[in-house]
Amino acid sequence: MSKAVLGIDIGGSGIKGNMVDVDTGVLAGERFRISTPDPSKPEAVAEVVRQMVEHFAADGSVGCTFPAIVRNGITLSASNVDPEWIGTDADKLFTETCGLPVTLVNDADAAGVAEMAFGAGQGHQGVVILLTFGTGIGSAVFYRGVLLPNTEFGQLEFRGHRPVEDWAAASVKEQKDLSWSTWAKRADRFLNYLEEIFSPDLFILGGGVSRKFDQWGKFLSTKVTTVPATLRNEAGIVGAALTASGGSSGR
């Protein structure tokens, strides 16, 4: 019998959730969304997660993505969230607030877990690097299907830019009104750098811009296979649910 687990994707503007069949990666019904509290302090976000649990009448494990380094349930960075998250035992806070066991996972890692299980990386046993191009640049690395958590490649210094996401994130394209070709060449330089250092067998490119890969993928010069993510906006929810169910080999 298929097992349904609540997956929640915590973002800067919205918190989205749905029940996920962790055997197939299929979402049940419509997603539910609540705006992210402002300020997005830990207790306020935990309360929204509790509302999500109540909305779906969840009664088992819950998985949540979060845009930060997450080690053993503790959030250790806050590059795009409220500074109060640094050092917070988020697993404990959310579990106590919701009355159910809650597991946090880095948002890009969750997307990668989903893509490896049900998307573009399914069945791939080599070195796979997933990058999410959005407000920043998230990353997830896998070898033989096993996740190396919290890589945070978007925080690297590259070509004098630190972090590189301030130069090559999709948000920079919008802010500076860059053409697809101009922005893609920035992404391409970073991809080539990662290719030189890590020798991956596959790049998976996610984030909102993956929907328009046909407009910018042609400007990439990577030697290894480079493909758009296939689960798109559902990846975080699916990956969170898989992690909470014990289906992530990186946990």
> Final residue of a domain: which of 78, 105, 132?
105
Q: What is the DSSP letter of 1?
A: -
Q: What is the pLDDT of residue 143?
A: 97
Domain-located, residue 238:
no
CA 144/CA 249 separation, integer angstroms: 10
**Which of 244, 248, 239 minimizes the C-alpha distance to 62?**
244
Domain count, the chain: 2
Range of the domain at 13: 4-105
pLDDT at 128 over 50: yes
Mean per-residue pLDDT, 141-152: 96
DSSP-derived secondary structure letter, 50 = H
Q: Is residue 159 part of a domain?
A: yes
* 225 strand-pairing partners: 202
Average pLDDT of 151-167?
A: 94
53 and 135 both lie in a single domain: no
Same domain assignment for residues 29 and 82: yes
Q: Which of 206, 46, 241 is nearest to 131 (CA)?
A: 206
Does residue 22 lie within any of the structural domains?
Answer: yes
Residue 235 lies in a domain: no
At 78 the pLDDT is 78
Mean pLDDT of 35-57: 95
The more confident residue out of 226 and 247 is 226
- Cα 126 from chain centroid? 20
- Residues 77-93: tens digit of each pLDDT: 877 678 999 999 999 99
83 with 147, same domain: the answer is no
Whose tokens are 């791939």? That residue is 124
Res 3: pLDDT? 83
Give me the mean pLDDT over the 117-124 stretch. 96
Select from 81, 105, 129 the last residue of a domain: 105
**Do 226 and 124 have their domain in common?**
yes
The yes-or-no verdict on residue 21 having pLDDT over 60 is: yes
- Asked if residue 37 is part of any domain, the answer here is yes
Specify whether 137 is located in the same domain as 218.
yes
Confidence of residue 12 (pLDDT cuts 50, 70, 90): confident
Q: How wide is the angle at C-alpha 164 spanned by C-alphas 158 and 170, nearest 5°?
A: 140
| pLDDT of 250 higher than 60 | no
Residue 4 in this model has a pLDDT that exceeds 60: yes
- For residue 15, the surrounding DSSP H or E stretch is strand 14-21
Average pLDDT of the chain to the nearest whole number: 94
Is the pLDDT reported for residue 248 higher than 90? Answer: no
Point out the domain boundary residue: 50, 80, 105.
105
Q: Across residues 43-61, what is the average pLDDT?
A: 96
User: DSSP secondary structure string, 144-212?
Assistant: TTEEE----GGGS-BTTBSSTHHHHSHHHHHHTT--HHHHHHHHHHHHHHHHHHH--SEEEEESGGGGG
On whether both 95 and 132 belong to a single domain, the answer is no
| Mean of pLDDT values over 183-197 | 98
Is residue 240 one of the residues assigned to a domain?
no
Which whole number is the average pLDDT over 179-202?
A: 98
Report whether pLDDT(225) > 80: yes
In a domain, 243, yes or no: no
pTM: 0.93
Q: Does 56 share its domain with 29?
A: yes
User: How far from the centroid of its chain's Cα atoms is residue 94's Cα?
Assistant: 19
CATH code for position 148: 3.30.420.40
Helix ranges (DSSP H) in 57-123: 90-98, 107-118
Do 54 and 128 fall within a single domain? no
Single out the residue of 90, 84, 81, 178 nearest to residue 135, CA to CA: 81
Tokens of 7: 């997956």
Same domain? 199 vs 129: yes
Instruction: Give the residue, 124 or 1, on which the prediction is more confident.
Output: 124
Residue 232's pLDDT is 86
